[in-house]
Amino acid sequence: MQRRAGNHIQALIDRGPRVGDLMTLCEDNYRYLLNLVPQLRRLQGRHCSTSADHQDLHLVIVEQTPYTTLIRLTYHFTLENGATSDPDALLRVYHDARQVEVEDLRQQALPTKRVYEAPGLLNKWRLNLFVSRWLIFCVRQGHVFVDDVSALRQPVCDLT
């Protein structure tokens, strides 16, 4: 049975994070990411998703191993003083555990500390929650990364 994306996340916000909540959020992020990158294990290198009237979304496959994939997901902006990426997320995908964990996140919208600064659990939960909402947002904008459209399956979860 599929869950609505916002219901579970709202419950986490209301109660505050626990270790089990962080693990559940990482599992949710895995499902959301697979909606955005359904052929993740097939992809290599750099990719760009273009969606009408929205900012291009960039994906870099940094590392692909049998059990994990390391990716960078970002928007690129050109400013008067140079280029910037925001948000800029480095994500570790654990295929065997079906989880996505934020390894690094640079962004302007949410005040956060480094991943392993105290209090670690609360900060990791905030970072993963931000990525969760961002992944849902990207899918709703119509972004998708594929190399073979004919091999696509039904979405992993309902993001409407």
d(CA 101, CA 160): 23
**pLDDT score recorded for residue 1:** 43
**158 part of a folded domain:** no
**156 part of a folded domain:** no
**152 part of a folded domain:** no
Number of independent structural domains in the chain: 1
**153 part of a folded domain:** no
Order the strands of the 45-49 sheet from edge to edge.
45-49, 57-64, 68-79, 82-94, 99-106
Start-to-end CA distance of the chain, whole Å, equals 15
d(CA 62, CA 92): 10
Domain span including residue 81: 5-146
**28 part of a folded domain:** yes
Summarize pLDDT for 52-82 with one digit per residue, the tens: 888 888 999 999 999 999 999 988 656 667 5
**111 part of a folded domain:** yes
* Statement: residue 7 has pLDDT above 80: no
Summarize pLDDT for 100-156 with one digit per residue, the tens: 999 988 765 555 555 445 457 878 888 888 899 999 999 999 999 887 655 555 555
**35 part of a folded domain:** yes
**pLDDT score recorded for residue 16:** 66
